[in-house]
Structure 1
């Protein structure tokens, strides 16, 4: 133990509980009243140029401290952000505290003697070895904490006592341990206890690090345990120890192995099962994978139905369900005949692909396009599923959503296959012409692959991301307006046109299909209510002017409801005849108006095709009566499109150029000409009203009326040639419904008459023409208005059809 050889000093004493100050430490100390008195006393006792000196001793509860540290006051000031005062002091030397002494001020003064810490020559080498060992341990601990600046400071310390006193900054030492270091003057002893303490601390740090490492390893272990639990669950299910006694319901791997899946589909499904087994139970990806696997397992990958080989039975089914529609029925029977023939010869597939069909049934509403799909499925012996496309604007509705989206689903095609339960159903794509497009894509473009027989054997849905063979599916699409179907999509389908029904067809449909159905809905029997054929024909002629039979069926339902009401009052059987229709249905909505409309010169009857089928179009021409010569302007009204406006200009130019040939006074055409096409609220367009406009202009200019029983259609050129148009069959049907008897059509449309029903051709005098002047000559009454036709009535009586004015829409 070193001896105290220095002279005693009298210093004010500052007691502190924390921190314990060792020599060499620079620490701030918060000052209370007693501590502040000690600091002030030290500063007062200091001579000029010196810092105040005082003794800092640990405050003990059970005894008076024996040692302290002589320290100098470096700075005194307020605590930042607080109201107290603090002093920054530097420890200098250890000191032994002696007796109390007197001094100025309220501070406590004591006598202190510095402690000599110089080691003896005998123990010098031991102290150096202990210092080297302690430094090594201290540096190891600092490196673990990556305290590089402190490491540099420690490396510069060479004095063993100063090195030991750096432990005053150690946070792992308690106040009692630091007080013990303060009271131990022997450097060797201090280094020994410090080495023991730092070893204990390093051991504790290693244990904590090992615990942290174990925690990290445990988190990794959870993944392994999850996989093991899945395997254990699979083993239990195989042993029949699952929650339901039969291996559970979530064993996707077993379900996939047991399912009849194509090899590539099986491989993709097993990959997803592997992801599911490796994923965390709380991960949302697990739910997505399960939904995908359920969708794949629900699809009938290798399930097909056997087509009917009985062509006669198939034809009977089609005839029993629908009247007419011979083109569609013939096409289905042909399809069945080819399929049966190939099957008998072992040629079930074509180049590895199925022999499905893609047809679009185009026609006006109410002709039975949608219901025909179910009949086709029954005739083929296949499942039927309907996909409504009207108003669809999202491409994902066809191709499906990517699985990364929340709420992703497969497209309607895949869902239709799942609903059907077989890979070769009849899929009806209803209202394909009503598909729209916007920022979400173009569904019609997505249908290109679905409806292409050369591509649909590898159709890939975005959600499934697997090849789906659609080549054996019979696709039937329905449309009202073929022009609204993109040309690229229409090119991939076989077009089957379904035009409107004749009056005889409507009567037969009503008698065989509509009347029994509505009677059953009204709970009526044949013995209670009957409807005569004359009444049905009157309804078709005067109460409806539609190509289909929807309105016809509504009127029948109305009549039967009224009959049921009367039966409730009287039990006498009811027969609805033609004279009774006014009581049951009210007055007729349609009456022949051609004679009334053409009763004045300048009005001609044309024929048009709209989205609702064929229709009659009246074109009126008049003069303003202006006497100013050289006016000759043309005014057009009736919401006409650009093509129809040009047709009017061409018609007027032709009449002016051939005025002498047509018997027209050129002076009349110098006036302002007004052409109007009722109804004015309905947009109209197309070139096929050209001949009708020429006839109306000549009638107006000559004052001769147009025959009331004449209708016409055709595009006209500047030299009077009549060019072909479309929709001949629908226009002739409209002419028959309107009560016309003579129809002029272009000569080049004569071939279209083969598609017109025989009863229509018998009812109409269809005259193919090549020159519009001949049409005018035969369509106008003679000058004496006797009603006799001035033209040569030698036209072809084999029939004729009517031409489309384009996408004209007429008000019903």
Structure 2
């Protein structure tokens, strides 16, 4: 009646906020209204009159699809609206938000000017969202504080204000959001992942640590069942490749692994963090840190395949907000990059992968084939060195035995006073003759001397 036509446009906002209670289930009534097969014979129970709604165009909005009942969702054509880029937010703020807040807070048009770097600072350091609701709220806070300054000054109504980065900090306080990717990924065992949330994309850090134990896997961070299963699949894949990673065969039997996803108060679920978990575990056991400008997304299988995911544009926007310059994504999502704005693609590097080994190479510079070859070569060198050492030990042992035998023989001869057998045989041929000859000669000389002495007398 208000529209004056039988084919109006109806917009139903926040349809995902419907709730069923003892009074009934609104989704059943909405099904009669939105289903093209049923709304031809729709009947208004209050007026008790039939009405044809087949010509009416219905548009509904929602932040999440999951709360919408399945039968109702099946009868809708889903149109996903991605979040805004920083450039788009800046343009919206400059064109719409600032003029609206200036007028709403009693300031004259043109009395307050926001510089682009000030708007960017508000976007990056005070808000983290897919839309511009919080951005408008912060701009309103700045305008209200400027309006107070105008009211407190006698001639302040004629004064013009320029808002720069320094002025933003004065009016809004110290920055509330920081890009701490570099600080948090500096240690081995930490990897940066990309996630999709109802309010847009976001980054998440996955941490892994080990301690002596019996091979138990612990997963914390208020994770859903799907995410827990992804952690187990990632763990199993790393375990199967422990020889290529240079680990002992019993490493995972002697160590417990703990995986934690911070922001424990926020529920998390989904399979797209599988490659991030596998990378965090690999980084831990190989003591290799992940590059601090890399984020990744993708589902992992037990065979090491990287499967496609959803929400690539939102995740890319989250990477941009966090200062990430390289995004690792499944190869089958490469076509989805067409949805990412061109100015965003130009400032980032996208690495499509099919297997987990490619993720490790891009994120840590770790190649399993080269590492395995190096380990084999190192093992051969160690084996060869062991053989040489064993030969050297045997030779040294033989020399020690010979020296000990010689030392024992010398000690025995010193104790008995006997000469060596060879020298003794030589003495038998020359020694006695010399002694006898010497004795005879000596006796003759003595007799002759006595004779000469007697004649002199």
Q: Name the TM-score, length of structure 2 as normaliser.
A: 0.76
Residue from 721, 728, 745 that aligns with 2:305: 721
Residue from 538, 541, 545 that aligns with 2:121: 538
2:34 aligned partner: 451
- Partners in 1 of 2:97 and 2:247 — Cα distance? 53
Matched, 1:430 2:17: no
Counterpart contact for 1:542–1:588, Cα < 8 Å? yes
2:64 aligned partner: 481
Distance 1:468 1:739, change over 3 A: same
- Partners in 2 of 1:434 and 1:526 — Cα distance? 38
Moved more, 476-485 or 714-723: 476-485
Q: Secondary structure at the residue paired with 1:475?
A: strand
Distance 1:485 1:745, change over 3 A: same
1:596 aligned partner: 183
1:691 aligned partner: 275
Q: What's the C-alpha RMSD, in Å, of the aligned pairs?
A: 1.7
- Partners in 1 of 2:225 and 2:366 — Cα distance? 34
- Give 1:665 shift: 4.8
Distance 1:491 1:710, change over 3 A: same
Residue from 62, 83, 87 that aligns with 1:504: 87
- Partners in 2 of 1:605 and 1:662 — Cα distance? 21
After superposition, the C-alpha distances for 1:53-75 in whole angstroms (9 at most, x for unaligned) are xxxxxxxxxxxxxxxxxxxxxxx
Residue from 257, 279, 292 that aligns with 1:708: 292
Residue from 553, 557, 575 that aligns with 2:136: 553
Counterpart contact for 1:669–1:701, Cα < 8 Å? no
After superposition, the C-alpha distances for 1:704-727 in whole angstroms (9 at most, x for unaligned) are 111111111111000100011111
Q: Name the TM-score, length of structure 1 as normaliser.
A: 0.43
Matched, 1:463 2:46: yes
Q: Secondary structure at the residue paired with 1:679?
A: coil
1:514 aligned partner: 97
- Give 1:533 shift: 1.2
- Partners in 1 of 2:266 and 2:343 — Cα distance? 31
1:734 aligned partner: 318
Residue from 759, 778, 783 that aligns with 2:362: 778
Residue from 160, 176, 197 that aligns with 1:573: 160
Q: Secondary structure at the residue paired with 1:444?
A: helix
After superposition, the C-alpha distances for 1:14-46 in whole angstroms (9 at most, x for unaligned) are xxxxxxxxxxxxxxxxxxxxxxxxxxxxxxxxx
Distance 1:498 1:436, change over 3 A: same
Counterpart contact for 2:360–2:366, Cα < 8 Å? no
Q: Secondary structure at the residue paired with 2:24?
A: coil
- Partners in 2 of 1:695 and 1:782 — Cα distance? 11
Matched, 1:563 2:146: yes
After superposition, the C-alpha distances for 1:518-545 in whole angstroms (9 at most, x for unaligned) are 0110121243211111111111122111
After superposition, the C-alpha distances for 1:299-354 in whole angstroms (9 at most, x for unaligned) are x3xxxxxxxxxxxxxxxxxxxxxxxxxxxxxxxxxxxxxxxxxxxxxxxxxxxxxx
Q: Secondary structure at the residue paired with 1:778?
A: helix
Distance 1:613 1:573, change over 3 A: same
After superposition, the C-alpha distances for 1:755-788 in whole angstroms (9 at most, x for unaligned) are 12112212221122110111011101579xxxxx
Q: Structure 2: where are the runs of 5+ without partners?
A: 368-457
- Partners in 2 of 1:640 and 1:522 — Cα distance? 44
Distance 1:421 1:772, change over 3 A: same
Q: Secondary structure at the residue paired with 2:78?
A: strand
Counterpart contact for 1:515–1:556, Cα < 8 Å? yes
Q: Secondary structure at the residue paired with 2:124?
A: helix
Counterpart contact for 1:704–1:781, Cα < 8 Å? no
List aligned pairs for 1:136-151, cutoff 5 A: none
After superposition, the C-alpha distances for 1:641-661 in whole angstroms (9 at most, x for unaligned) are 111111111111000001233
Q: Secondary structure at the residue paired with 2:276?
A: helix
Q: Secondary structure at the residue paired with 2:235?
A: helix
- Partners in 1 of 2:245 and 2:46 — Cα distance? 68
- Partners in 2 of 1:664 and 1:780 — Cα distance? 17
Counterpart contact for 1:430–1:479, Cα < 8 Å? yes
Distance 1:425 1:540, change over 3 A: same
After superposition, the C-alpha distances for 1:384-409 in whole angstroms (9 at most, x for unaligned) are xxxxxxxxxxxxxxxxxxxxxxxxxx
1:751 aligned partner: 335
Q: Structure 1: where are the runs of 5+ without partners?
A: 1-299, 301-418, 784-812
- Partners in 1 of 2:100 and 2:57 — Cα distance? 29
- Partners in 2 of 1:434 and 1:663 — Cα distance? 52
- Give 1:638 shift: 0.9
1:196 aligned partner: none
- Give 1:609 shift: 1.0
- Give 1:420 shift: 4.1
List aligned pairs for 1:297-446, cutoff 5 A: 300=1, 419-446=2-29
After superposition, the C-alpha distances for 1:192-223 in whole angstroms (9 at most, x for unaligned) are xxxxxxxxxxxxxxxxxxxxxxxxxxxxxxxx
Distance 1:527 1:480, change over 3 A: closer
Residue from 161, 174, 198 that aligns with 1:587: 174
Question: Greater relative contact order: 1 or 2 (C-alpha under 8 angstroms, separation 6 or more)?
Answer: 2
- Partners in 1 of 2:35 and 2:181 — Cα distance? 47
After superposition, the C-alpha distances for 1:562-620 in whole angstroms (9 at most, x for unaligned) are 11122231523110012211111111111111001101110000111112211111100
After superposition, the C-alpha distances for 1:223-247 in whole angstroms (9 at most, x for unaligned) are xxxxxxxxxxxxxxxxxxxxxxxxx
- Partners in 2 of 1:522 and 1:438 — Cα distance? 41
Which structure is higher in helix share? 2
- Give 1:666 shift: 4.6
Residue from 638, 642, 656 that aligns with 2:221: 638
- Partners in 2 of 1:580 and 1:667 — Cα distance? 60
Counterpart contact for 2:222–2:265, Cα < 8 Å? yes
- Looking at CA atoms only, which structure, 1 or 2, has the larger radius of gyration? 1
Residue from 326, 345, 361 that aligns with 1:761: 345
Distance 1:769 1:553, change over 3 A: same
How many residues get paired?
A: 362
- Give 1:508 shift: 0.4
Q: Secondary structure at the residue paired with 2:11?
A: strand
Q: Secondary structure at the residue paired with 2:203?
A: strand
- Give 1:434 shift: 1.5
